[in-house]
Amino acid sequence: MTRDARLRAWQSLADPRHACLVRALRGIDAAPAPAAMERLRAAHGTDEVAAAIELSIARTRAHAKFGDAADALWADRAGVEMASAPAVAAWKAARFRAAGAQRIDDLCCGIGGDLMELARAAPATGADLDPVRAWMAARNAGCEVRVADAADAPGDAPFAHADPARRDRAGARRWAPEDLEPPLGALREAMHGRTGWAIKVGPGMDLGAEHAHGGDELEFIGDRGGLVQQVLWSGALAVHPGMRTATRVDLGLTVSGVAGGPAEVAARAGRVLLVPDAALERARLLAGAAARLGASELAAGIGILTADRAPGAGSPDAPWFECFEVLEELPAREGAVAKWLAARGAGIVTVRTRGGACDPDRWQRALRGPGDVPHDVFVLRLGERRVAYAVRRIAG
């Protein structure tokens, strides 16, 4: 299908004469049976049916991110996957509003996940290289969206947001800043002269000094237990210049600081294990939190802290950690751990690990007992040896 034919097929779905086609496919998560497909094609056309199937599957999958608003979303599956969730988009848009943004360009806007919220903060214009995505974004956000290359035609608004593609045409993820589309360096050039701008990249991407300059701010955003975005803020939008910020949108938590080195390594495990939120760890703010809590890293680079007591409820660092009381330190052998658990009426056992110290699924199957008491076990590599810790979660 040509690009123009694809756009026409999607546009036709907004025509009332195809409303029954969209309704007929509502709620599907896979293509209908061949016989049903043939009936639909005979009534509506091959291209229109293909677009309607894609739309319906995308809306079904978008419910996890957009809730009931997904039922009115114009999107394809890849667009849903790449789009910011409403709460994350609103969090970022609030920074534009606080900076006094009067006009915003949203570049590489996709289906408009961020554009919908940016347009609530200030008059906004979207841009995307894909004409179908540009059409989707315009309908979703209710504002102008240009079909344009962000590097060649970035617009002239004083403020801008960009979300360069992190996958190639085959769907493979890109990990290097210069492999983004457009490359991060080209986007920085396109942002030149703006009052403030932001570029969204993957949370696992490492940005060097050539990409994140001294006055920029890097924010690592978590939502509902997952690390979802890294945002490079610059100009008036860099609220904490030269710092890193960890944010949990769903909890309304944010903390900023200068990236630290590794935390001090413990000589032994204390009475408590502290597992940091992924945003805090990725922002390289763990060492500072460890120092404030009087905690140490269980082993170099493992990312889990240990201390003799859990942080108090009033500690600002407490919400950033899952806390576990150490009940027993055991050799990391399935038989030894299973015996200890069986003596305590274990039923379902949750096994957690880092650095490939064990296969947690296999261990969970091996350790599950006939009892009804749930247990948690950490299997970790401490230097040259592996250790298992039977633990009990400490309520936050």
- For the stretch 204-227, pLDDT in tens is 999 988 899 999 999 999 999 899
Query: 331: which DSSP letter?
Result: E
Do 318 and 368 belong to one domain? yes
Domain that holds residue 56: 3-73
Return d(Cα 118, Cα 103) in angstroms, integer: 10
Model confidence over 24-57: pLDDT tens digits? Answer: 999 999 999 999 999 999 999 999 999 999 999 9
Q: What CATH code is carried by the domain that includes residue 322?
A: 3.30.2130
The DSSP bridge pattern shows strands 145-147 and 124-128 to be parallel
Sign of CA dihedral 299, 300, 304, 307: positive
Q: How would residue 170 be classed by pLDDT, with cut points 50, 70 and 90?
A: low
Model confidence over 51-87: pLDDT tens digits? Answer: 999 999 999 999 999 999 999 999 999 999 999 999 9
Model confidence over 295-327: pLDDT tens digits? Answer: 999 999 999 999 999 998 889 999 999 999 999
Instruction: Calculate mean pLDDT across residues 144-161.
Output: 96
Q: What CATH code is carried by the domain that includes residue 155?
A: 3.40.50.150
Structural domain count of the chain: 3
Do 87 and 229 belong to one domain? yes
**To 10 degrees, what angle do helices 3-13 and 46-66 make?**
70
Percent of the chain predicted with pLDDT > 90: 89
Give the per-residue pLDDT at 271: 97
Q: Other C-beta atoms within 10 Å of 396: how many?
A: 11
Which of these three, 234, 257, 280, is where a domain ends?
257
Model confidence over 265-291: pLDDT tens digits? Answer: 998 999 999 999 999 999 999 999 999
Give the per-residue pLDDT at 289: 95
Instruction: Calculate mean pLDDT across residues 106-133.
Output: 98
Do 52 and 182 belong to one domain? no
Which of these three, 26, 44, 73, is where a domain ends?
73
Do 318 and 385 belong to one domain? yes
Percent of the chain predicted with pLDDT > 70: 99
Q: CA 104, 107, 112: angle at the middle one, nearest 5?
A: 85
Do 88 and 233 belong to one domain? yes
Give the per-residue pLDDT at 262: 87
pLDDT, greater one: 152 or 2: 152
- Domain assignment present for 265: no
Do 350 and 238 belong to one domain? no
Closest CA to 138 of 104, 108, 111: 111
Instruction: Calculate mean pLDDT across residues 107-121.
Output: 98
Do 166 and 51 belong to one domain? no
Model confidence over 181-197: pLDDT tens digits? Answer: 999 999 999 999 999 99
Do 12 and 100 belong to one domain? no
Do 199 and 281 belong to one domain? no
Residues in the chain, how many?
396
Do 128 and 176 belong to one domain? yes
Instruction: Calculate mean pLDDT across residues 333-348.
Output: 95
Kindly tell me if the per-residue pLDDT of 228 is higher than 80: yes
- Domain assignment present for 263: no
DSSP output for 93-156:
HHHHHHTT-S-EEEET-TTSHHHHHHHHHS-EEEEESSHHHHHHHHHHHTS-EEE--TTT----
Give me the residue label for tokens 């749930």: 374
- Domain assignment present for 266: no
Do 244 and 188 belong to one domain? yes
Give the per-residue pLDDT at 169: 67
Q: In whole numbers, what is the pLDDT of the chain averaged over residues? A: 94
pLDDT, greater one: 199 or 209: 199
Do 66 and 104 belong to one domain? no
Kindly tell me if the per-residue pLDDT of 362 is higher than 90: yes
Model confidence over 365-392: pLDDT tens digits? Answer: 999 999 999 999 999 999 889 999 999 9
Question: Is the pTM above the cut of 0.95?
Answer: no
Q: Other C-beta atoms within 10 Å of 314: how many?
A: 6
